[in-house]
Structure 1
Amino acid sequence: MSNTTTILAELMKYMKEKKLGVSDLARACNMNPGTISGFVNGNRKLSVYQLDRITETMGHPIGYYYEHYISEYLADADPNWRRMSPFLESCAKLNKLDCIQQVVNMLLDKLGYATPLFELAEKLFEDGLYEAAAILYENVALSENKQHSERLALCQYRLFQSRQGDNQEKNYEAAVQFGTYVDRLDELDQLDGLKALANTYRSLRKWDKVELFAKALGEKAEIQYKLSKQQHRAKKENSKQPSFPLFAYWAFSHLLRAQAYDERKDYEKGLQHIKKYANLGWVTDTDEETLKWKKNYEDWAVVNMYVNKLLSGDRNVLPDYVAYISSRKDEVLPALDNILEAANRYHFDVDDILKQFEADISSYLGQQKVESFYTQRLTERFIHFSRKLALYYLRKSMFSDGFRSLLICMEISIAINNRIQAMRCMRLFVSFQEHAPSNTRAFYRKLANAVGEDEE
């Protein structure tokens, strides 16, 4: 369809070719003849749903005429939200993002549309249509950028959530942008926002930032918990509730802070924070959700005490740690990562443990498609594990296994744009390159070139 042809002209042409009258077309479209007649005579504007029916009847995919629909039916001096809203929803479902941007551009100077755009963005976000929602959030944020508004902060929060993915640089940029707005959210949204920020910086291994946001999370969660106990116990039907029990945010804060201290090799302080969430006897509620989260944190305290002692050089906890994770599939990869960290640092021999989990290790190393298997945090954990496994093998002159793990780590680091880990892999390879066969060196050069191209 050319830019000068109208939807009506296309329909008239179709009716002429098929020799259809208004009644015939109405039956074919399952629409009221009066609606068709009004459109054909230029007395009526089509809704997007009516356009979709006509489009399908003419043999085109839904959305075929959307670009023309914008210029012919939506570009009024006084935009009609009742017509725009369903059109934007349809565009979101069809991922016609350019059309959404066009419509939103019409509303940029009309502040009265900030509220309905925000409400629609929330609906699209809830439906998982994140890219479409992001366009609306961005434009609502622009319209309120000079205001210290809660809605502006919520737009930034949603943009942060929608931008989290495999690309670590983009995750970092999104976290930095949202970090300046998190304090403007309402009290309960602040808890979720701080938790999300701390988790993102955790996956990026920026432990100072983890400590900063985790500390703020704990302080705010403690205040909210005390307030909830001071207030009447009966909850208002329409009052907003937190996503998790309030004590769980407090406990998560200390879990994160313990990990941050462990990663910075301050194991004494790390242990202090583990002990804080190990004993939650002061939480007296007995509802199912509370009991579930109390048990979770008590279990995590057990395993994290093993990790804390192991990383501080206590090899005696290895048997108990291995026994603990043996029946917990989700704990195997993090545990092997921690065990290899200690083995490389203190020169432990853990061949027997690697043999015990040989099938799991082969499964991890065999997963080449990051996007189809690993979540963001699991991907980061796998990268660290595979590099540590490579170092362990290479130091023991098990070069075939070592280079295999190292190149897998490097390849996935490049795929998710984790430049720091890619460079660490390169440095490790250089240290042992004299032991690499020619085909391994060739594959390494290919990956190294990819890192160089990315830098350019």
Structure 2
Amino acid sequence: MQLANVCFSLHKWQEVERYADELRELATAVYQDELRGRKMNRKIIPPKTERHLVVYYGQGFLLKSAALEKQGLYAEAKKYISGYADLSEFELLDETGRIEVEKFRLWATANRYTLDVLLGDIEVLPAYTRFLMDHPKEILSGLIAIMESANRHRFKVDGILEQFSSQIHDFTEYENSIQMDRYFRFRYELATYRLQNGQYVSGMEDILRCLVLATIMKNDSDFIRCVTLFEAFRPHATDQQKTEYKQIMEGIRNEEVDFASNRFSFGTV
């Protein structure tokens, strides 16, 4: 699971798939061995692990689904959600295990909505937004999916942005590298959405924010995407925005940041 998480942070999706498959196989083997021992009244000493066995079993499905989603294989990713959506029948559960099962149930609901939206099913948006309101910790990830889908399928989400305006304002209070990465992705999709819909001033402002984040994260590919997007819409930038952009570029040049050799590691999922 640790290897899958590291590969996830490095965006090596096929390697995440490989380790997720291996994780499911190992967790299933341990689980079946413990069940056989119980039926035969044989004392089984389970392996000492940091987490409950159900976590490794469920994470095998969740990581597989997430890696497929990141590769744009949304329909295939949905198939793996059923593997962790309801683990209540998982035997050998104690109180800790039951708490983990409920976490997986919540993530499955959120991820089903996410994949439906990414597939362009805008009819689920009202239910999805209600779900996000009820589960604030899922709002950032949910809005990333909504914005990405809105840009791909060209539908309007101004009402949703207004609905979550206060939460969006608080996104600047990220606490770790994972949140920073997610915040970047949201801001980049938001910038793209605004620029595509003629909201040039706010869109260019978002791109400037993304440039700063990409610089902090030392992420070369994200930085290049931001520069490309800014240059594509440069005629619509205000004089102040062009000045800020120039200052950012000069700061990068003066510090001689080598993005190629300083790729940012986002931690684990």
Name the TM-score class by shorter chain. 0.7 to 0.9
Are the counterparts in 2 of residues 422 and 451 from structure 1 also a CA contact under 8 Å?
Answer: no
Change over 3 Å in CA distance of 1:231–1:446 after alignment to 2: farther
Are the counterparts in 2 of residues 221 and 250 from structure 1 also a CA contact under 8 Å?
Answer: yes
The one-letter amino acid paired with 2:203 is: G
Report deviation, 1:209. Answer: 2.3
Identity among equivalent positions (%) equals: 29
Question: 1:393 aligns to what?
Answer: 194
The one-letter amino acid paired with 2:257 is: D
Q: 2:229 aligns with which of 420, 425, 428?
A: 428
Q: 2:246 aligns with which of 433, 436, 445?
A: 445
CA–CA distance in 1 between the matches of 2:205 and 2:108?
A: 34
Are the counterparts in 2 of residues 383 and 412 from structure 1 also a CA contact under 8 Å?
Answer: yes
CA–CA distance in 2 between the matches of 1:434 and 1:196?
A: 46
Q: 2:11 aligns with which of 180, 190, 205?
A: 205
Report deviation, 1:235. Answer: 6.5
2:221 maps to 1:416: no
Q: 1:342 aligns with which of 144, 149, 154?
A: 149
SS of residue matched to 2:171: helix
TM-score, reference length from structure 2: 0.87
Q: What's the CA shift string for 1:303-332, capped at 9, x where partnerless? A: 111111110111111111101010212111
Change over 3 Å in CA distance of 1:329–1:442 after alignment to 2: same
Are the counterparts in 2 of residues 265 and 312 from structure 1 also a CA contact under 8 Å?
Answer: no
Change over 3 Å in CA distance of 1:420–1:374 after alignment to 2: farther
SS of residue matched to 2:257: helix
Q: How does 1:81-160 map to 2 (within 5 A)?
A: none
CA–CA distance in 2 between the matches of 1:415 and 1:386?
A: 15
Are the counterparts in 2 of residues 203 and 376 from structure 1 also a CA contact under 8 Å?
Answer: no
Are the counterparts in 1 of residues 201 and 236 from structure 2 also a CA contact under 8 Å?
Answer: no
Report deviation, 1:282. Answer: 3.5
Q: Which has the larger radius of gyration?
A: 1
Question: 1:376 aligns to what?
Answer: 177
The one-letter amino acid paired with 1:405 is: D
CA–CA distance in 1 between the matches of 2:161 and 2:177?
A: 24
CA–CA distance in 2 between the matches of 1:361 and 1:217?
A: 35
SS of residue matched to 1:454: coil
CA–CA distance in 2 between the matches of 1:312 and 1:256?
A: 19
Report deviation, 1:229. Answer: 2.3
The one-letter amino acid paired with 1:226 is: Q
Q: What's the CA shift string for 1:268-308, capped at 9, x where partnerless? A: 21011111111324402342111111111111111111111
Report deviation, 1:200. Answer: 2.7
Q: How does 1:17-416 map to 2 (within 5 A)?
A: 195-231=1-37, 241-365=48-172, 367=173, 373-416=174-217
Report deviation, 1:375. Answer: 1.5
CA–CA distance in 2 between the matches of 1:234 and 1:316?
A: 52
Structure 2 spans left out of the alignment, 5+ residues:
260-269
CA–CA distance in 1 between the matches of 2:214 and 2:191?
A: 14
Change over 3 Å in CA distance of 1:256–1:449 after alignment to 2: farther
Report deviation, 1:386. Answer: 0.7
Q: What's the CA shift string for 1:8-44, capped at 9, x where partnerless? A: xxxxxxxxxxxxxxxxxxxxxxxxxxxxxxxxxxxxx
Report deviation, 1:435. Answer: 0.6
Question: 2:263 aligns to what?
Answer: none
Structure 1 spans left out of the alignment, 5+ residues:
1-194, 368-372
CA–CA distance in 1 between the matches of 2:196 and 2:7?
A: 31
Are the counterparts in 2 of residues 215 and 253 from structure 1 also a CA contact under 8 Å?
Answer: yes
- The root-mean-square deviation of aligned C-alpha atoms, in Å, is 2.0
Are the counterparts in 2 of residues 247 and 283 from structure 1 also a CA contact under 8 Å?
Answer: yes
Q: What's the CA shift string for 1:228-256, capped at 9, x where partnerless? A: 223357666xx752222212212112111
TM-score, reference length from structure 1: 0.53
CA–CA distance in 2 between the matches of 1:227 and 1:414?
A: 49
Report deviation, 1:227. Answer: 2.2
The one-letter amino acid paired with 1:431 is: A
CA–CA distance in 2 between the matches of 1:256 and 1:446?
A: 40
The one-letter amino acid paired with 2:33 is: L
Which has the higher relative contact order, 1 or 2, with Cα contacts under 8 A spaced 6 or more apart?
A: 2
Report deviation, 1:451. Answer: 4.5
SS of residue matched to 2:233: helix
